[in-house]
Amino acid sequence: MAVTEIRITGFGGQGVILSGYIIGKAASIFNEQHATLTQSFGPEARGSACSAQVIVSDDRVLYPYVTKADILVAMSKDGYMTHKNNLAKDGIVVYEKDLVPVEEHGAGVKNYGIPATRFAEELGRKIVLNIVMVGFLGAVSGLLPEKALRKAVETSVPSGTEELNLQAFDKGYQYGKQLVETAEVTA
């Protein structure tokens, strides 16, 4: 039974919860797997600490909380610092490289950084940085098929923003794909 534990961290307003929702939807609705989502956020509407825990499994999920994250997605330094020590020995850190200074985690952990905020700003809306991160996560982790993630993005974002969000997803996915291909060539 394949089970993947994912923790997504950041600040309220960065789309942390929506990112978790999209990943869970991609797994459960568009990839015939099982998924759970739990969330935690401060009382402020924006700017407070925020996290989402997603469990993706081939079988029913019996415990919906992350015990050791296989994947840590960090969109803020504070979120990364809070959760960096709860990472599996062979885990993956996906981080916003302009905002999060990542430390060494050990030989088995892979770090993948992307300037997601910059990419989102280039697309005209800083708010889509979370979708850039979802695309990037999909490419570097191989957890879910691109098609399932893309469909989950398209059906989860507000009406009228689908095209922008799919462009953000594609930007993150292509950057991640290129990063992985380059790493394989240099390894």
Rounded CA Rg of the chain: 15
Q: For the domain that residue 156 is a member of, what is the CATH number?
A: 3.40.920.10
User: What average pLDDT does the structure give for the chain?
Assistant: 92
Query: Model confidence over 122-155: pLDDT tens digits?
Result: 999 999 999 999 999 999 999 999 999 999 999 9
CA trace torsion 168, 164, 35, 84 (10° rounding): 40
Helix axis angle, 146-154 to 129-141, nearest 10°: 160
Beta carbons of 42 and 11 less than 8 angstroms apart: no
Cα–Cα dist 135/164, whole Å: 13
Residues of the domain holding 49: 3-186
The whole model's pTM is what?
A: 0.93
pLDDT-derived band at 119, boundaries 50, 70, 90: very high
* Total number of domains in the chain: 1
Query: Model confidence over 36-64: pLDDT tens digits?
Result: 999 987 665 566 789 999 999 999 999 99
